[in-house]
Amino acid sequence: MNQQKKIKFIISTLESLYPSPLVPLKHQDAYTLLIAVLLSARCTDERVNQVTPDLFNLANNPGDMMNKDPEKIKEIIRPCGLSPFKSKSIHQLSKILFEQYNSIVPANFESLESLPGVGHKTASVVMSQAFNIPTFPVDTHIHRLSYRWCVSNGKNVIKTEKDCKRQFPKSLWSKLHLQMIYFGREYCPARTHHPEKCPICSVVGRKSLFK
């Protein structure tokens, strides 16, 4: 199977399994999505979804959040890990959004990535899911799957993102990002992975997976 056929097989398999993937992080708008994605760094989406209801009851917009005590924010988000850094980032970026952007989350990479605690992956998720702008955010699942499926060489997430964008149709980027996350969790985990049983690895997986 050549690379083009592999890509088509991957797309068709993911589409059959997850035709309408939902954003796993619960949110109400671009701002709450931004905060939820920031909290998801080194934390599971499930844990974030357990924490954000209390956080957004405290404040769900930049103006209210910037006026809350960072210590109170830190106390609420502690289960997500890195709470000192994340609480400071949430407080500071909320102040910036209120003062510089009229409390509106900007829909461009340069502005998003200039906000405290917001890296390229976080910005990519917001651009994709909040503003419907085609991006291909690479998390640990996508980085792992791209290597296993010979889409990328696993060198780093920057290379993986470039390879995914080059090989997958732009119109599918945002949807594939979600589909691959769900597939990675259900069929292709980092541990206890059985490539011979995996719907995709069993067909296009690297030979090294079966040793």
Residue 44 has a CB neighbour count (10 Å cut-off) of 13
Mean pLDDT across the stretch 21-27? 95
- 193: pLDDT strictly greater than 80: yes
What is the arithmetic mean of pLDDT over 45-65?
97
Answer yes or no: are the C-beta atoms of 111 and 117 closer than 8 Å: no
Domains and CATH numbers, the chain: 3-21+136-210 (1.10.1670.10), 30-129 (1.10.340.30)
Q: Which residue has the tokens 């899911």?
A: 129
Query: CB–CB of 131/30 below 8 Å?
Result: yes
> What letter represents residue 78's amino acid?
R
Q: Which of 184, 208, 211 is closest to 198 using CA atoms?
A: 184
Phi/psi at 134 (5° precision): -60, 120
Give residue 19's identity as a one-letter amino acid code: P
Read off the pLDDT of each residue in 27-50 and give the average, rounded to a whole number: 96
What's the alpha-carbon Rg for the chain, to the nearest Å?
18
The H or E element spanning position 199 is none
Summarised one tens digit per residue, pLDDT across range 126-143 is 999 999 999 999 999 999
pLDDT of res. 209: 85
pTM, entire model: 0.92
